Structure 1
Amino acid sequence: MELHGQRYTYRTAGSGSLVILLHGIAASSATWEEVIPRLAGHHTVIAPDLLGHGKSAKPPGDYSLGAYANLVRDLLEALGHDRCTIVGHSLGGGVAMQFVYQFPERCERLVLVAAGGLGREVHPILRAAVIPGADVLLPWVRVAGTRTIGMLVKTMGRFGFRASTDFGETWRNFVALEEPAARKAFLQTVKGVIDLRGQRISATQRLYLAAELPTMVIWGERDSLIPVAHAQRAHDLMPWSRIEIFPAAGHYPHLDDPERFARVLLDFIRATQPLPANAARLRNSLRAGPGMPKQDAFQ
């Protein structure tokens, strides 16, 4: 479909209450292809290609978390949906938390999957993307067919990637950066959330605002991109949340074990009541402030 004069693509299936699936950086809605059929028997599922990703447009412009959240809201509105359970993986987790912050009245539940925005630590391969001239210097952001495939493999090996789902999916995402517009959108997105020290955007200061929102945190114990310790940190900051650690999974638990992922997600939705829309709740929460000492995990 077209939003604001730009192509915005998405996958959809099923019927029932709405579940939105948001992918990670340099990925696309294809990352959910094993999960969507397992959810569609119970829910309407929408998995967009975020702007700058997949088959969606890749214009110059705003690739901030806030801009992504706005577009998710606009997509829901254009498709006639008011509220959703929002599920975000990696960058998509940061977008999901921003969506909850900006549009709490549209959120029934929040599910964070190996989400960004919960700690400084992130794999050096992503920190390297903010080095000045990265689009020229780093082979994995200038893939050009078979000529640089060998260099890409060696680079990923030096960064510690071994044969695994993390390797395969990261490979697929980097190969997609062969398209110049995709490469530019990727670099703009990375620079909005990461600096040379790691993740620069923290959601930890505002998580208390979601205190009544049913929330689940899912992580792979072998995550090579964002450490699993961030899952426990998120759960500590949101003690009302449910936490699920997949022992044999990496950064993509929905790919390592799509059957368990779908089962856990469906069980969470069945076991929780959607948070009713209530404009006074946000106002009261802001006035009351966090119920724990303020802390910034990035300092």
Structure 2
Amino acid sequence: MMEVKSIQLKNGTMDYIDEGKGMPIIFLHGFCGSSRYWEKVIPSLAEKYRVIAPDLPGHGDTTIFKENDTIEVFADVIKEFLAELNVDKVTMFGHSLGGYITLAFAEKYSERLSGFSLVHSTAFPDSDDAKKGREANVTKVQELGISVLIDGLVPKLFSPENVEKNAEYVDTTRQIGYSTSPHGAMSTLIAMKNRPNRNYVLEETTLPVLLIAGEKDQIIPKENTFSVTKSNIKQRIITDSGHMSMYENPNELISEIDKFLIEV
């Protein structure tokens, strides 16, 4: 069991995992997730790197930060968090929501990055329909609570065949989701709804970039992840995986991350 640490920041307390030594890398989890999303990935990578994985504001055991209703606020909190850990430069891996934060961080604080990766994420903004869906989910949480949202969301995160095959991890993902603060979930839904198109960040960056898509992702199709093609951007598909390769195919995910880090 990995030790969970806690650090006091300006507007709240952040819980995080910090394992291993060497070049620092940071994992940012997805919506209604926590640092536990990376529990099958961290031990192997921590043999070679310093691996940091926080609970994002409003998620897991991190306390809610004031007005965390824009993606940029999340990026600012991550910058403050890394400064408190005395980490000057890091390679950032962002899963889904974490990818949106990673892009905002790359836009604002690129000098703090050695490279970055979007894991089952996209630089595109929400479509009009997706924005309506976010608003409907805010209402759902307000009126029915977090559990109803999670019960509807979690099965879609896994590829159809993995819902049964990976039942243990489907349940783990559900339990992590249930622990999300309702206020945190609602403010994060608003932040995701209002995020801009950040394909220009991918187009303009000279940093090494790794774009990872799930072969059977029902949330973000690979064409939405692979939105920019450039010599410094690697595109990789994780086989037999939906939106949760860290549970569905962790060995392949670890392999792709490791290959990328060797070149950063």
TM over 0.5: yes
**Residue 178 of structure 2: aligned partner:** 175
**Residue 254 of structure 1: aligned partner:** 246
Q: Which runs of 5+ in 1 are unaligned?
A: 274-299
Q: Distance in 1 between matches of 2:92 and 2:150?
A: 34
Q: Distance in 2 between matches of 1:160 and 1:108?
A: 29
**Residue 267 of structure 1: aligned partner:** 259
Q: Distance in 1 between matches of 2:62 and 2:24?
A: 21
**Number of corresponding residues:** 251
C-alpha contact (below 8 Å) 2:122/2:225 kept by paired residues: no
Correspondent of 1:208 among 176, 180, 203? 203
Q: Distance in 2 between matches of 1:192 and 1:27?
A: 16
* Cα distance change, pair 135–39 in 1 and its aligned pair in 2 (3 A): same
C-alpha contact (below 8 Å) 2:156/2:218 kept by paired residues: no
**Residue 4 of structure 2: aligned partner:** none
| Post-superposition CA distance 1:207-261 (Å, at most 9, x none) | 2221x21111111111121122212324x3x453111101200001122111121
Correspondent of 2:98 among 92, 100, 113? 92
TM-score computed with the length of structure 2 as normaliser:
0.84
Pairwise CA RMSD: 2.9
**Residue 277 of structure 1: aligned partner:** none
**Residue 83 of structure 2: aligned partner:** 77
TM-score computed with the length of structure 1 as normaliser:
0.75
C-alpha contact (below 8 Å) 1:121/1:227 kept by paired residues: no
**Residue 212 of structure 2: aligned partner:** 218
* Cα distance change, pair 6–220 in 1 and its aligned pair in 2 (3 A): same
Residue 129 of structure 1: how far off its partner (Å): 3.8
Identity of aligned residues (%): 24
C-alpha contact (below 8 Å) 1:60/1:185 kept by paired residues: no
Residue 169 of structure 1: how far off its partner (Å): 5.8
Q: Distance in 2 between matches of 1:98 and 1:20?
A: 15
- Secondary structure of the residue that 1:9 maps to in structure 2? strand
Q: Distance in 2 between matches of 1:156 and 1:50?
A: 19
AA aligned opposite 1:251 = H
Q: Distance in 1 between matches of 2:185 and 2:66?
A: 11
**Residue 109 of structure 1: aligned partner:** 115
Q: Which has the larger radius of gyration?
A: 1
